[in-house]
Structure formats: structure tokens, C-alpha cells
Structure 1
Amino acid sequence: MNAAIHAQFKLAYSGFTLDVDLDLPGRGVIALFGHSGSGKTALLRCIAGLERANNGFLAVNGRVWQDDSQRVYLPTYQRPLGYVFQEASLFPHLNVRRNLEYGMKRVPASERRASLEQAISLLGIGNLLTQLPDTLSGGERQRVAIAHALAVSPQLLLMDEPLAALDQARKQEILPYLEQLHGELNIPILYVSHAADEVARLADHIVVMEAGKVLANGPLSDTLSRLDLPLRLGEDTGVVIDATVGLREAQWHLQRADFVGGSVWVRDSGAAIGASVRIRILARDVSVALNRLDHTSILNQLEGKVTAIAEDDHAGQVLVRVQVGAAVLLARITRRSAADLVPGRPVWVQVKSVALMR
């Protein structure tokens, strides 16, 4: 990994201790993931300079923002970052355009890497510019808040559970804009969340946290398929695979998502042939057989090899890790069903449901 962010913090207060030492990539969405109280927001606030960790160190793109051993500490207003909170923080007496222009004032014209119009276009808020914040829906306010964060031409974008305060309809409204940020911004985005579905849809890289410490730090697909993590995702346990649309069956409203070593049929999303897509396969939707099965309603059968078997949350179940070409699938099956399975054994996996994330 070509690290662009190095963060080392120790912070203790009110019975909680944050103790992290992280190297993170310089582009894409990096999810800080864990249960409530795991330290995600504390880490984000240390990076932003809103909390000061003693003996801390932070470097972004080769520039040191904090090094207590050298008495270097940039206050928040001197750090080239954008911060999006759970609740949109906008000036209620200014319309949308003036809110955005206010954010740009802190950045000298010579240092602006993105124009205000680019931010407006990226978040689809051109029709909202004359409105006051109180007249906007929750999803619209968050889109304006993200545009406000981009208006300062940040080298780093911090997002602290930006969808947590929205209902499901508003979440679905804003997710496509977050995906567009993922594709078009050439900066790292640190995205705090405890929602596995958001992480699966948006993230490239994941930092799994628990009790103020880092349990795992790596590419999303690799990390989700690990069986050695003590953090269990329950019904959300599964994998994410990057694929390409290879074929469309218009008669059945299906399209085929191809990846190295296999393919699966999913509901037709309208994506063009050759388009890159992301699919999510939950362990509860995968079964394992020793032979290919005929006369089954399940379309997706893939040949693979068992690589690991691990305990699950319930004593009667196990998680089976199966290598399928270059991809990995997880299957949650009963311990009895796994009695004949051992690492190295060839198997067929049946995938009952595949979610097309984007």
C-alpha cells in the first residue's frame, strides 16, 4: 500500500483509551468501521485537530500536521481538510450559495483545486442555490454540507456518519452522490460508519475498530473475507466483489456479473455491457455441496475450494471460506453440514441472492 496518511495517536479520557498506529492509502473511500464506542469518531476528531492526543503524530501527503516530539501542531483551521458531520452545519440566515461561498473564503485563490461550480455540479444542488437551509430536506442539507466541505479544496475529506440522521428514503437519495465522489475525487475520504451495507457499497479500504484499537486495516474485499477477526457482523457477514457486466438476458431481466474465475447472475440494473459493478454476497445466502446440483432453481453455482472453516456466533453453525478463482466467498452452514468439509477440498457453492451495490 502506498500510504499517504500516517496517524499515530494515544488518547485517554473518561475510561476510554484510543491507541492507534495507522498507514492509509491516498485515494478512495476508507471506512472507519466498528460498533458504537469503538473509537471511530475519536480517531476522526484527532485527525481533524478537534481532539489533541498527547505524543501524537499525523502526516498527510508528506506534510506533517502534528508531531509532538518536534512541537509541531497545526490547529484545525490550518489543516486543509473538509469535515461533514452527522447533522448538516449550515448558517441558517444564508442561502445555499452564500453558505458555499463562505466556506471558500478560508482558501486563498491560488490554492483552490476545485471550483465552486464543480462542487455544485458534483452534488447536484444547482436548483437549491437560492434556498435557505430550513427549506431543504435532510438529504438536500447533507448534499449542501458535503459541497461546503469540498469548497475548501481539501486534501482530505472526513465524513462522520453522514447518513445516520436520515431515514431510508433520504439515504437512498444521497448514496448515488457519495458514489460519484468516490469516482471523481482524487483525495482520500475517511468515512465513519457502523452500517455494514454503507461500507460494502462505498468503501475501498476498511479500518475495523474495537475498544479504541485497530483490529484490521486493509482492502475491503480482503478484510471482509477474513475469518480471524473477533468482530462478528452477524447477518451482515459476507463479501464484496468487483465485477464487470458481461451479458444481459432481457427476457428474464437479468445481467451477468463477471469476475476473475467466475460469474453470477443478478437483477438487471441497466448498467452497460462492460461497465464496472460491485456485488455483495452474504454468507447466509451461500450453501456448499460436494458436487454440482442439477434441477435446482438457484442460477448461481460456482466451483471452488475450501480454504478455511471457523466458528460462528452460534455453536451449531460455522463459516466456510471458499476460494472461487480470484474471489473469495463465505458460507454460513450448520456444523453438521460441514462434517465432511476440510481445507483443500473441492466444492460447489450455490449463491441464492446477490446484491448489486453499484
Structure 2
Amino acid sequence: MTLSVNIQRTLGGFDLTTAFDAPDGVTVLFGRSGSGKTSIVKSIAGLLTPQGGRVALGDRVLFDSAARVNLPVHKRRFGYVFQDSRLFPHLSVRENLCYAARVSGRGARQPGGVAELLGIGHLLDRRTHALSGGEAQRVAIGRALLSEPDMLLMDEPLASLDGPRKAEIFPYLEGLRRETGLSILYVTHNMAEVARLATHIVLIENGQVVRSGTPEALLTDPDMVRVLGIRDAGAVLSATVMAHHSDGLSELRVSAGTLVLPSVDAPEGAQLRVRILAHDVILSRTRPEGLSALNILPVRVLALRRGEGPGVIVQLEAGEDRLLARITRRSADAMGIAEGATCFAVMKSVAVSRTDIAVGLQSGG
């Protein structure tokens, strides 16, 4: 079901005036720290009260200032996962999981199935102080699921975790939508999380919605690089695992050809999303030979955006997909890179890390 949000609230130095729809899938609210993301999700959950507007989940109105509707938190039927796990330290993992089901009055599920989904079955009798950060967040997600919510709200759930713990929890986040069917509103300022998890993106800047749409459309729009951040600019490609080779490389099919990447942990035939950063793409006007780079795709230049510095962002058509390349103005001029030009995009296999590959997520419309 679709979450519809249209709220107004004064927040310190700026006015939060936000309107967007979050369709089925994983909608990510993305913006820099201080842009108003957490205030938005707390207003949706009922933890903050907007000064005006309307919030509805499907045909259920949760807040409507004109109609004087303001459902309390426990009646909004959201599962809320905070940045810190907020587990009860005096209870075991099992007792933490069961608490939400008991308090909500809706939970009919037993913790066993959720524990298996999140890989925490072996932790059920452990006290929460003995958990790692990643384990604690998985328990927090399980507690939210066991309240039988209509939707999950996840506010920077990985922000307090280091790199290895983030890598540990990513597969469980990807599996939530597939296994539960629940839609998720996910808040982050980390572009890697956006590229890996989002099926729909809402860009927030100073309390305003700059734009919303699919990852394929927004992440490869040169005009959005300013909001997304030049260092994180890149594309998300849909891919299918074709083969795993004995030398530790996996072969993936994309719409423009083939990608060869370090061993991908997915079976042949699996559908993947692969993030390709703009600064990892090299352009050549002719098909290069004698290179160590294994990935060469034919592309057509769709647009160029020249910044104030020496860099140029080039939007490329690669089959049915879009890529971004970040090159220097000098190279673009010397090579005659212009709209409509054909060339080849070159990418090193090792430039794509395992954290840039997502399994089984499809983008929304």
C-alpha cells in the first residue's frame, strides 16, 4: 500500500514543507545530515506532530490537520527501527522479540520464524548486552516485525555500525521485502545504502523534496549530482548471473553486454543490482585493446554537465541502462565528447566491491 505524506512544520532554521508518495517497495529518504529526514519519519510515526498537512497509509488516514485527525503512535501500525537498537537490557533476545507482539495486541507470530529470517535463532536466550552492533540491530528489526506492522520505518539503522557490521546486515535488509512483503520507508545519508536497497528514492534538501523517482532515473541524472554528491555519483545496473569461473570471477549479463566481477555470492540466473561509480568509468572513442580492464561496453553520450572546476559528468546510454562517467574537461574536449557521440565505457572488475552488489531487488515504477 502507498504511504502519502504532505506535512508542514517549522524546524529551527528552516520550514519543513514535504509532500511525497512512498509506493510498495523500499522508499529511501535521502539527504545530508540536518536536511529534515528524521523529523519527517517521526512525524509519520506520530512521534512529532506537524503544524499542518495529512498523512495516510493506503485508505487509512493517520493525520489530517484540517479534519483534526491525529492517531496515537500505537494505532498507526508502523514498525519503527531506530539508529540505535533500543533493546531492553534486562530482557533476553527472545523476551525482547515477544514484547512487541504482546504490547501491540496484533502480534500472532512466534519469534522462531522471524529469528530464522534474520539469522538470530542462536541468540534467543542471550542477554542483549552480549550482542554485537549488527546482532542488536537485527533483533531490533525482528521486534518491529513481530508487532505485525503495516509498514516498516527505518531511521538510519546502519549509521552506528562499522563497515564489516554493515556488510553483515545488508543481506537481511534485502531479504525483508522479499520474505515479508512489507513496504519500507528507509532514512539514510549514505549513498551506498541508497544504491543497494532503494526501489524508490525521495531526495530531501533543507526540508523540501527536491525530486523523487527510481534509482535508475535519479542516480544517473547529471542534474542531481549536486544533491547526491560528486564522490558518490554513479549508476545502478540490472544484471543476471551467467556463470562462475574457476579463476574467481563471475560473469554477469547486462543490457549492453557482459560484466566480469570478482566472485559474486549468488547462483546462476540470480537477478542482481550492480552499482558503478562515475569515477570508475573511463571513456574511449575506439574499442581499446591490450588493457587489463575486462569490462568494455559500447555507449552513446546523452548529456554533459560541466562544473566550475576541471571535471565533467557525462551521462551515457548503455543498452537499456544509463551510466555516468566523471572525466576532466580537458579529456572531454580532446576526445570530442559531445551529445550523440558513440564511445566505449571501460571499467575495472575490481572497482566494484561486494557491498555494491544487491541480490533480488527490483525497482518500482
Shorter-chain TM-score above 0.5: yes
Unaligned runs of 5+ in 2: 359-365
Q: Which residue of 1 aligns with 2:160?
A: 165
Aligned-partner Cα distance in 2 for 1:262–1:207:
30
CA deviations 1:220-269 (Å, max 9, x no partner) are: 1211001112314222111111210113322x321111122322111122
Q: What is the match of residue 328 of structure 1?
A: 322
Deviation at 1:191, TM superposition (A): 1.1
Instruction: Quote the Cα distance in structure 2 between the aligned partners of 1:75 and 1:107.
Output: 12
What secondary structure, in the 3-state scheme, does the structure 1 residue paired with 2:138 have? helix
- Name the structure 1 match of 2:361: none
**Contact 1:303–1:346 (CA under 8 A) maintained in structure 2:** yes
For 1:156 and 1:188, how far apart are their aligned partners in 2?
Answer: 5
* Aligned amino acid, residue 230 of structure 2: G
Matched, 1:9 2:4: no
Instruction: Check the 8 A contact 2:22/2:185 in 1, yes or no.
Output: no
Q: Structure 1: state its 5+ residue gaps.
A: none
Partner residue in 1 for 2:71:
74
Aligned to 1:143: 138
Residues 1:263 and 2:262 are matched in the alignment? no
Whether 1:244 aligns to 2:247 is: no
Answering whether residue 284 of structure 2 is matched by residue 289 of structure 1, we say yes
Find the residue that maps to 1:337 and give its secondary structure.
helix
Asked whether the 8 Å contact 1:66–1:72 carries over to 2, the reply is yes
1:301-328: CA deviation from partner (whole Å, max 9, x where unpaired): 111110000024x611100001011011
Q: For 1:269, what is the secondary structure of its paired residue?
A: coil
- The match for 1:181 is 176
Displacement after TM superposition at 1:117 (Å):
2.5
Partner residue of 2:120?
125
Q: Deviations over 1:183-204 (max 9, x none)?
A: 2221211111111112222221
Between the two proteins, the alignment pairs up a number of residues equal to 351
Query: CA 1:55/1:137 → structure 2, altered by over 3 Å: closer, same or farther?
Result: same
Runs of 4+ in 1 over 3 A off after TM superposition: 111-115
SS in 1 for 2:345: strand
The Cα offsets for residues 76-102 of structure 1, whole Å up to 9 and x where unpaired, read as: 111101111111112221111111111
> Are 1:338 and 2:332 counterparts?
yes
Alpha-carbon distance between aligned partners in 2 of 1:119 and 1:129, rounded to the nearest angstrom: 11
**Matched residue, 1:42:** 39
In 2, Cα distance between equivalents of 1:133 and 1:263? 46
Whether the 8 Å CA contact 1:303–1:324 is kept in 2: the answer is: yes
Check the 8 A contact 2:94/2:111 in 1, yes or no. no
The structure in which a higher percent of residues are helix is 2
Q: Which amino acid aligns with 1:177?
A: Y
Counterpart amino acid of residue 309 in structure 1: L
Q: Does 1:233 align with 2:229?
A: yes
Equivalent position of 1:317 in the other structure: 311
1:213 counterpart (191, 194, 208): 208
Q: 1:123-170: per-residue Cα shift (whole Å, max 9, x none)?
A: 111111112211222211111111011110111101111111122222
- Bigger mean CA deviation after superposition, 146-155 or 182-191: 182-191
Which of 17, 20, 39 is the aligned partner of 2:18?
20
Tell whether the 8 Å contact from 1:291 to 1:347 is kept in structure 2 after alignment.
Answer: yes
SS, match of residue 227 in structure 2: coil
User: What amino acid maps onto 2:167 in structure 1?
Assistant: Q
For residues 101 and 113 of structure 1, what CA distance do their matches in structure 2 show? 10
Contact 2:100 2:107 in 1 (8 A): no
Q: TM-score, normalising length from structure 2?
A: 0.92
Mapped to 2, the partners of 1:140 and 1:106 lie a distance apart of: 23
State percent identity of aligned pairs.
Answer: 42
CA distance in 2, matches of 1:115, 1:310: 54
For 1:162, the aligned partner's letter is P
Partner SS, residue 100 of structure 1 = helix
Q: Do the aligned partners of 1:261 and 1:324 also contact (CA within 8 Å) in 2? A: yes
Amino acid corresponding to residue 303 of structure 2 in structure 1: A
Cross-structure match for 2:363: none
Q: What residue number does 2:362 align with?
A: none
User: In the TM superposition, what is the alpha-carbon distance from 1:63 to its structure 2 partner?
Assistant: 1.1
Distance (Å, rounded) in 2 between the aligned partners of 1:113 and 1:308: 53
Query: Structure 1 residue 198 and structure 2 residue 193: aligned?
Result: yes
Shift of 1:113: 6.8
Aligned-pair RMSD on alpha carbons?
1.6
Q: Which residue of 1 aligns with 2:85?
A: 88
Deviation (angstroms), 1:11: 0.6
SS in 2 for 1:37: coil
The one-letter code sitting in structure 2 at the alignment partner of 1:24 is A
* Secondary structure in structure 2 of the residue aligned to 1:273: coil
After superposition, give the CA deviation of every residue in 1:254-310 in whole Å (9 maximum; x if it has no partner). Answer: 111112232211112242211112211111111111111111111111111100000
